[in-house]
Structure 1
């Protein structure tokens, strides 16, 4: 992920901690501090109990738990960025979904992060082709829609037109003994990436 893209992502996510509304505009210049403060706050809140809270149209999830989204008005461009520790992958499961796919509603889980058309990990670094990294609720034929990421980040896109429509989202973290592509939660520190006997591209951002 390029430095410019990472900066744009941090600027986007810091709006969650400043509570200036779920808009496309961010006025806070201290992006890194805002993002990392949000991550630390969520970690403290999630200790020793099952974490539950409403999901916002633009949201950042750094802990396991159950998140519920109910639209109060049409929400046409929503995304939840999910991040775990470098040595973890993310399991995402949808339930109690009440949307109208025929009216243009959708919920899609992505294996990685996307911002302004650029993906992390890139298509060059990820083991799956781009179309296999998406899990589309509206295209699913089974009663359960779930996805597991290949690295420590995942994302949920959704668009809902009708008020009172929504869904539940369960997020779990699983141990990954050989992490490859990693998005760091901290601007400082060190991490050792070990990839024994594997011929693959890895990235750290």
Structure 2
């Protein structure tokens, strides 16, 4: 199958999900409701031993987060169904799957099995095109074309999308989580927690996506070369900054940027490189995050919240923050038609 066909199938997934009417907890996020990721990841067989178990995948939408063995056996009612399984690990994990069995007739165009390096949900994908190391054409992999057994993601989230048009078609996967010493893009595995994002000296963009309305508290930050305090978080050269964003989809191109922050919060850590004050006009203004010498706090009240660290290779940037799920949502969020 060509790359063009692969992308078309991904577009079908996006359209299908944006039009789906959720009927249970597994699919509640498809109509714009916050998804309870922690419950989905931990549901399943109560006889789990050593965090490893086996079960059948659920169509149309499923999520797995426990290491184990998963399988799908088609029946006549599945002939036209497009199914998606979301794979999710902890913040410092990479997702790896191995097809241990693959009883699918690849010559039949009714059968499609794809691996996607990231998540799609409603509109757009995470990570975005500017933040992922691979172009979208290489992130969508048709299993029948490649015939490889093992697939690994670049972040803690990935997907399998499939349609088995013939009865008795089946596949079986082993799901593993691989430790990632330098995590960049992360899907929050829990609705409440804390995380530290670093650029490790690289020129790259890293994002932490929270599929809930959330309250963000930046506890410590050192981004860029300026040594301003938390009450004057100016961004001088525009190359290194932390951005707080919100919207009703995974597509960061359509999300609203609420503020951009630079400098130091909490314990100041001096960085290498020299700050060149080219544009000192971007300051905290009324209506922006509340600041003091120790932290920055801001509510993001749409269905999806993002903390994004944009970095050149001039500084060792880092930002540490807490996130707490909010029970309220904003009445107007981009895109206006929701997820």
Which range, TM-score by smaller chain? Answer: 0.7 to 0.9
Highest relative contact order (Cα 8 Å, sep 6+), 1 or 2?
A: 1
CA contact 2:84–2:159 (8 Å) conserved in 1: yes
Do 2:94 and 2:179's aligned partners in 1 also have CA atoms closer than 8 Å?
yes
Q: How much does 1:14 deviate?
A: 5.7
Alignment partner, residue 15 of structure 1? 25
Q: 1:63 aligns with which of 60, 63, 66?
A: 66
Q: TM-score, normalization: structure 1?
A: 0.80
Whole-angstrom distance in 2 between the partners of 1:63 and 1:51 = 8
Query: 2: CA distance between counterparts of 1:62 and 1:15?
Result: 16
Inter-partner Cα distance in structure 2 for 1:93 and 1:126: 22
Q: Shift of residue 164 of structure 1? A: 1.2
Q: Relative to structure 1, is the Cα distance of residues 194 and 44 closer, same or farther in structure 2, using a 3 angstrom cutoff? A: farther
Q: Which has the larger radius of gyration?
A: 2
Higher helix share: 1
1:164 aligns with 2:168: yes
Number of corresponding residues: 186
Question: For the structure 1 residues 145 and 192, does the alpha-carbon distance in structure 2 shift closer, same or farther, using more than 3 Å as the test?
Answer: same
SS at match of 1:192: strand
SS in 1 for 2:172: strand
Q: Match of 1:169, SS? A: strand
What secondary structure, in the 3-state scheme, does the structure 2 residue paired with 1:171 have? strand
Ranges of 4+ aligned residues in structure 1 off by more than 4 Å: 11-14, 42-47
SS class of match (2:197):
coil
What is the TM-score with the length of structure 2 in the denominator? Answer: 0.50
Structure 1 unmatched runs, 5+: 1-7, 19-23
Structure 2 unmatched runs, 5+: 1-17, 210-339
On the 8 A contact 2:52/2:66 being kept in 1, the answer is no
Which of 86, 95, 102 is residue 90 of structure 1 equivalent to? Answer: 95
CA-atom RMSD in angstroms: 2.7
